[in-house]
Structure 1
């Protein structure tokens, strides 16, 4: 009899364990079972918001649940990003974010309460280089002309950025370092006032995304001196890469977007979200929308080590920021 009781207890324990395993597997396989919130850490109507809206509906169709966008701006994206990290790491709260709020802000602003590694990197969406632009009557026709002019007038030429510690400032600080020139930094609170002053001749240069400034450049209202990626931007093939110049080689700065979640999200859920994102990015309609917005859509190979790519970006930007005075 004791033997039978022992056997019965062992059988019941095994049955319970099997049921628990099956239940967990079913929970993983059935994800998601409710709506997913995609936080955009900037107000509606901006570039990040537009990218999120191109992705949300097709992702919802693939996942079988609504993907609802929540805009939460503030502190250059840090408010929305911090909110994501306070949510459960269950896959039901994700973020359409960029290099700005995930990698750069924690480096240049000590008040930001997180670091890039606090996020689960779901997948890369796409990227775009910056474009160095100038007022239309600036006495330079090419990037090499621009650097020559800066060398003749050290500290005299002015460049605008979207704020102290912005990616645009980081880019220009690195350009000045590599070219051995100095310019005056003029920070603005956004791209719109920067462009107003550049068009009005109040500043000499600016750094902006091609999608923002190409219409003015093609109309001759401003000059486009070069893009900061390794190669020419497909949306502006007429503008050379700065690395084509004699002044600077191997310059590579791109503004990229990705999908993120809180740290320690279960791998099976991360993989499911990543697979949905990758499928969406291969959709011809979505790809066209993103390309029209100025993005080069991420390839499947870029998705495999997005976390590793973020680490490299952190190391690069941290090294640059440590060597400059951010003011």
Structure 2
């Protein structure tokens, strides 16, 4: 006769084995239909540009279409909420930048919890931002621009790709660190932001390189500084903000992919392994190099830790600067 305790142990073992088999089958069968990738900004900006490149490579690897869904509004909040409310089955993903984590830090009302309401799948990489001005602004260097802005309070303005974005936070920090009285005008993405700077409706912007670099290279915007600790190889003559009056300053825009909360670990891990392959693809690496985008690899756990660490660091900067917005 088999003892009752032995039977219980056997049942538990069989149940555990069934779960493992089920999870393996789940991962093996995924994906078997198109994946929707939400990009919470307008087409043509830095996040959209990189997101489309990554989606194109991933769909070749996964054998299923990845449909881009641009859902701009409220500094990325609208698109993020589409994903937050989606079924956690791996068929609705979010491609966003570090502003995904920063937005709840600066918004006066409750938005979402950047750590609890989403599943970090993997970091894609990071990129510096460029401080750029309209060609009619009579300043060739950051020092000249600062002196000009101080001599003419409230005359010069910043354009930002959205409140709570890395663009917005960097402009707020520059204002406070250098004592500038420059109004910040918010847009629904980098394309309208930069279009208005080029058109002279706004004086300047701080924006991620993939979106602004083509306008700088085409002579339509003048670069004054970059936000990385070291100069960017593709623009060796452009100093860092640290060199230009803000010692030690660095603020990068990092990009990644998230799923809804409770995304099964097997699906998150499958996607993560495909992301690692994608950023190593020679064609994608070449395109990243053109954009001064630095690809990185991280496990879901490492990406989660990056978000936690950045929230602590940026959260302190936001609190010290008193940055608070409402929409």
With normalisation by structure 2, the TM-score equals 0.82
Tell me the distance in 1 between the aligned counterparts of 2:163 and 2:141: 27
Answer yes or no: is the 8 Å Cα contact 1:32–1:92 preserved in 2.
no
SS of the residue 1:55 aligns to: helix
Equivalent residues in 2 for 1:311-322, closer than 5 Å: 311-322=308-319
Q: How far apart are 1:13 and its partner, in Å?
A: 5.0
Change in Cα spacing, 1:208 to 1:263, as seen in structure 2 (3 Å) is same
Structure 1 unpaired stretches of 5+: none
Answer yes or no: is the 8 Å Cα contact 1:227–1:242 preserved in 2.
yes
Q: Deviations over 1:267-321 (max 9, x none)?
A: 44433332221122112122223333442212x3687622122123223433344
**Alignment match of 1:29 (pick from 17, 24, 33):** 24
1:309 aligned to 2:281?
no
With normalisation by structure 1, the TM-score equals 0.82
SS of the residue 1:151 aligns to: helix
Equivalent residues in 2 for 1:33-182, closer than 5 Å: 33-35=29-31, 37-42=35-40, 45-47=43-45, 48-56=47-55, 58-60=57-59, 62=61, 66=64, 68-71=66-69, 73-75=71-73, 76-100=75-99, 102-111=100-109, 113-117=111-115, 118-182=117-181
SS of the residue 2:230 aligns to: coil
Change in Cα spacing, 1:40 to 1:17, as seen in structure 2 (3 Å) is same
Tell me the distance in 2 between the aligned counterparts of 1:50 and 1:185: 24
Q: How far apart are 1:125 and its partner, in Å?
A: 0.3
Answer yes or no: is the 8 Å Cα contact 1:96–1:259 preserved in 2.
yes
Q: How far apart are 1:174 and its partner, in Å?
A: 0.2
Change in Cα spacing, 1:57 to 1:209, as seen in structure 2 (3 Å) is closer
SS of the residue 2:29 aligns to: coil
Q: How far apart are 1:65 and its partner, in Å?
A: 5.6
Tell me the distance in 2 between the aligned counterparts of 1:51 and 1:175: 26
Change in Cα spacing, 1:211 to 1:11, as seen in structure 2 (3 Å) is closer
Tell me the distance in 2 between the aligned counterparts of 1:44 and 1:108: 21
Change in Cα spacing, 1:21 to 1:268, as seen in structure 2 (3 Å) is same
Q: Tell me which residue corresponds to 1:204.
A: 203
Q: Deviations over 1:99-147 (max 9, x none)?
A: 22x2122233345531210222121102222111112232322112222
Equivalent residues in 2 for 1:237-256, closer than 5 Å: 237-245=236-244, 247-256=245-254
Structure 1 window deviating more from structure 2 (174-183 vs 104-113): it is: 104-113
**Alignment match of 1:19 (pick from 1, 14, 18):** 14
Change in Cα spacing, 1:92 to 1:138, as seen in structure 2 (3 Å) is closer
Q: Deviations over 1:67-98 (max 9, x none)?
A: 53351514233233223223344544432222
Q: Tell me which residue corresponds to 1:222.
A: 221
Provide the alpha-carbon RMSD of the alignment.
3.1
SS of the residue 1:71 aligns to: strand
